Structure 1
Amino acid sequence: MVQSKTMYQCAVCEETAVSWSGRCLSCGEWDSMNECRVPSKTKRIGGKVLSSLSSELSSEVMRLSEIQTPDVERLRTGIRELDSVLGGGLVKGSVVLVGGDPGIGKSTLMMQLSMSLASGGECVVYATSEESAYQSKMRATRLQNDVAETCPELYIIADTNLSHIEEAVEKHKPAMLVIDSIQMLFQASYEKPIGSTSQIQHCCMALVQLARKRGICVCIVGHMTKEGQVAGPRMLEHMVDVVLTFEGDRHDALRGLRSIKNRFGTTLEIGLFEMTGRGLSDVEDVASYLLQEEHEGRGSIVCPVMHGSRCLLVEVQALATGTLFGQARRRATGFDGSRLTRLAAVLEQHAGLELVDQDVYANIVGGLQIKDPATDLAICFALICARLNLFLPRSISIYGEVGLDGRVRSVPHGGQRQKQVSKRGFSNNMVPITRQQGELQNAFHFASVGDLVTYIQKNGIYVPTNNRLSDE
């Protein structure tokens, strides 16, 4: 009988130690050391355990020119935005991990994907561990009333035992397997608690081997932590081929599907969906969708931003009001809050805008998370208008990056941005000074935030603030 001994393994980096400690000495994570039992004959290299499942494999050394590169066989999903993010469809034999906040629409997306493939004649096995088979059918019926007739090759298995799911795959030989979700899956032969990092990693490895062996696509749904990472071991993202994150506000209709890892395509594409009563639908004209309610108001401006490889027109809003606290607050929605704090400091230092006693709020309408630095100038514009109680006509758009010295810097894809705003009918555009500024029509060029303040004070229309109601 093989004896075993107690060890402690980090749930993040899998470093092992003979004694428990509050912090992993390898990766620095706190409270990540979990007790585990390993065979005494297990080999240890560099502090990491090598079990029999990870035995050393010999491989022939080959020249790069001698390696055969077969054509990648893709499976079209029938969902335009999803195919765009994946790079043209699902690759056979690949594993896709889809993460997102609760209620964002992960299961809805996977069910629509399954129905789309099944209606095209492909066999799909949908393994749900969080719903019963009846609940899954109700979800599918809400998405499409005649799903039973149009998707005869869609099979539902409500089970958390991975061995039973593997038997279903062996029986039906599907083109795609959906696991919803990996955190609830377990294998009876592996004696670890359900949901533990070791159990999740073991099940994921088994699914990867299943996909490679059968040549099927495996889509895994994963929950997200409050830090925005997929729950479970960090190794989970390294084991799969594609990692997708589903983002957006669950109370808003717009959803964004972003690829943060893709071994078969680019990670620059972003898919946009609208959540409706009949499920997720592709957003045809994103600019029209985000700007469907056009109005003129103080502290509001349109900015062309690059969201992946697309140019979107988003509305940037700002509000400045006297603080009721000892320290003024800075709150941002739709972009990094530290940028708002930095831009407020730049406006105070280089433009003379008094914000030290003002609570400042900024928002990008639509629920998207924007990382494009071109929104810096738009945020500054909205803050200036909000603070000075001025507004300019809605026919203006603005973009540019603002440095700590108060200078406005140019950003990439200027031609694409100008094309989009011109298409939408914006006659006046505020842009940074560039070498190609002569090519831009109806454009005002700014070198610093001070120039922006001067322009707004000269051309802005004053809007008096509303008087507060008082008791008679």
Structure 2
Amino acid sequence: MASQFFCTDCGYETNKWSGKCPACGSWGTIIESTRITGKNQSGKIPDLQQAKPECIKDIKTTEISRWKTGTAEFDLVLGGGIVPGMVVLIGGEPGVGKSTLMLQLSEWMGKQGKKVLYATGEESAEQIQLRSTRLNISSENIWLLCTNDAEHILNEVAENHSDLLIIDSIQSVSLPNLDSLPGTVTQLRETCNRIIRCAKTMHLPVFLVGHVTKEGFVAGPKIIEHMVDTVLYFEGELQGQYKILRAVKNRFGPTNEIGIFEMSNIGLVEVPDPNQIFLSESGKHNGTAIGCVMEGSRSFIVEVQALATNSNYGTPQRVVSGLEQKKLAILLAILEKNLALYLRGSDVFINLAGGIRSTDPGLDLAILSAIISSLKDKPVPERSVFIGEVALNGEIRPVSQIEPRINEALKLGYERVIISGHSKVRQKAKVLKLFNVRELYAFLDKT
């Protein structure tokens, strides 16, 4: 073994320590690791055969066969179902429901005759049994293995001919031939590499549960996310009723797909109509406006709530929930510059109803409309949806996939869709085009 240094953010390797990573520029992310030389390849798992180069035109491909879980929201996030040989990393805050989802996944696949090995290094068999009883897990195809030895897990997979492997969590298992603790950079990198080679060789789907840092990212080196095929994040308030499963990386489907689940006394249940959880009760309210976001291949109607009130402190507060903090600062500067609105003495709070998080620029117009509505103490026009990106000069710019957004709004019964004047759409009825924020202010003031 030889020492080396490793960046936990980007995976950059170097022979000497540095306070700043030369590759990604992050400070304090270079940590000491161990380079494995001539490590023992013990175990019963067959290794990958040496591949030879082939002409890309001569490679024969077959249609990817997917296993349906029977839960539409989960299948959608994965890109249509589970692909044999795929490795999925799922992260989320403690207590958000990762282990519950994995145990339910075992039940879904077990009922289809798939043999599932559920390996855990954090909980005892009695704890898993208590949770399975609460979730009504009754399949006879689920096998539980409580161990921290990754080689033991892979050997049991080979002996029992398992169809699906779930490891909860990847930070708790390790390779016994490495002289380092579980969860360290060396163990995570080598353990993941061993598991991935096993998955590709045996065409075995693997789900890895990962801990997250205080920033909300999967703990450990970023290289783990690069190694796996799919990365899922479980979002939602710990005490909230609804949870969102988001795909941030997927080699077998589109990214940014989300699945909506409701936490109940029998586990996670898919939500049949996700649009309803992002909207409050109908009626006119000051400081609220309706927008539309695209998440993967689906569009969602979202309610934006804004509150602008006089500040009692020297520095006004800028608080957002579900959006980036810098986005609010930019939009407030656009209002002050183009509409001469004095906001430097006002506290401004923005919230997306339902706990959804979005970076879609198409929400800009709805956010501005909600802020103006709160400032004027006047509700926006009822049954209206605002879709558009706002430039720094106040121009309302078109957004991508405008047709699906408009169709979703009209399908839900909204009577007017306000979009950019530069957008080219086939739908003319019930569509109002505006070119800048001054026209938006005049529209809201007139109605």
Alpha carbons of 1:70 and 1:392: their partners in 2 closer, same or farther (altered >3 Å)? closer
Q: Deviations over 1:348-399 (max 9, x none)?
A: 1101222111011111101111121111111111101101111134322222
Contact 2:20–2:28 under 8 Å retained in 1: yes
Residue correspondence of structure 1 range 18-417 to structure 2 within 5 A = 19-36=16-33, 59-144=51-136, 147-148=137-138, 151-291=139-279, 293-417=281-405
Contact 2:17–2:30 under 8 Å retained in 1: yes
Greater CA drift, 57-66 or 375-384: 57-66
Cα distance in 2 between the residues matched to 1:329 and 1:256:
28
Aligned with residue 452 of structure 1, among 426, 432, 440 = 440
Structure 1 unaligned residues grouped into runs of 5+: 43-49, 460-472
Aligned to 1:47: none
Cα distance in 2 between the residues matched to 1:102 and 1:331:
24
- Report the AA paired with residue 123 of structure 1: K
Aligned residues: 441
Cα distance in 2 between the residues matched to 1:393 and 1:321:
22
Offset, 1:432: 2.0
Contact 2:332–2:343 under 8 Å retained in 1: yes
Q: Does the residue aligned with 1:90 lie in a helix, a strand or coil?
A: coil
Q: Does the residue aligned with 2:171 lie in a helix, a strand or coil?
A: helix
CA radius of gyration, larger in: 1
Aligned to 1:46: none
Offset, 1:185: 0.9
Offset, 1:59: 4.6
Q: Does the residue aligned with 1:194 lie in a helix, a strand or coil?
A: coil
Contact 1:91–1:217 under 8 Å retained in 2: yes
Offset, 1:335: 1.3
- Report the AA paired with residue 171 of structure 2: Q
Percent pairwise identity: 37
Greater CA drift, 254-263 or 194-203: 254-263
Offset, 1:8: 4.1
Cα distance in 1 between the residues matched to 2:23 and 2:386:
47
Cα distance in 1 between the residues matched to 2:379 and 2:341:
16
Q: Does the residue aligned with 2:361 lie in a helix, a strand or coil?
A: coil
Aligned with residue 431 of structure 2, among 409, 427, 443 = 443
Alpha carbons of 1:209 and 1:61: their partners in 2 closer, same or farther (altered >3 Å)? closer
Offset, 1:252: 2.1
- Report the AA paired with residue 170 of structure 1: A
Cα distance in 1 between the residues matched to 2:32 and 2:427:
65
When the two chains are superposed, the root-mean-square deviation of aligned CA atoms in Å is: 2.4
Greater CA drift, 184-193 or 267-276: 267-276
Aligned to 1:16: 14
Offset, 1:249: 2.3
Offset, 1:231: 0.7
Greater CA drift, 420-429 or 346-355: 420-429
Greater CA drift, 255-264 or 131-140: 255-264
Contact 2:418–2:431 under 8 Å retained in 1: yes
Alpha carbons of 1:70 and 1:51: their partners in 2 closer, same or farther (altered >3 Å)? farther
Cα distance in 2 between the residues matched to 1:411 and 1:30:
36
- Report the AA paired with residue 79 of structure 2: G
Aligned to 2:44: none
Cα distance in 2 between the residues matched to 1:388 and 1:335:
23
Alpha carbons of 1:441 and 1:200: their partners in 2 closer, same or farther (altered >3 Å)? same
- Report the AA paired with residue 262 of structure 1: N
Offset, 1:325: 2.1
Alpha carbons of 1:451 and 1:29: their partners in 2 closer, same or farther (altered >3 Å)? closer
Contact 1:418–1:440 under 8 Å retained in 2: no
Alpha carbons of 1:377 and 1:116: their partners in 2 closer, same or farther (altered >3 Å)? same
Greater CA drift, 378-387 or 170-179: 170-179
Offset, 1:114: 0.6
Alpha carbons of 1:124 and 1:341: their partners in 2 closer, same or farther (altered >3 Å)? same
Cα distance in 2 between the residues matched to 1:348 and 1:418:
29
Structure 2 unaligned residues grouped into runs of 5+: 42-46
Offset, 1:268: 4.5
Offset, 1:160: 1.3
Offset, 1:74: 2.2
Alpha carbons of 1:10 and 1:417: their partners in 2 closer, same or farther (altered >3 Å)? closer
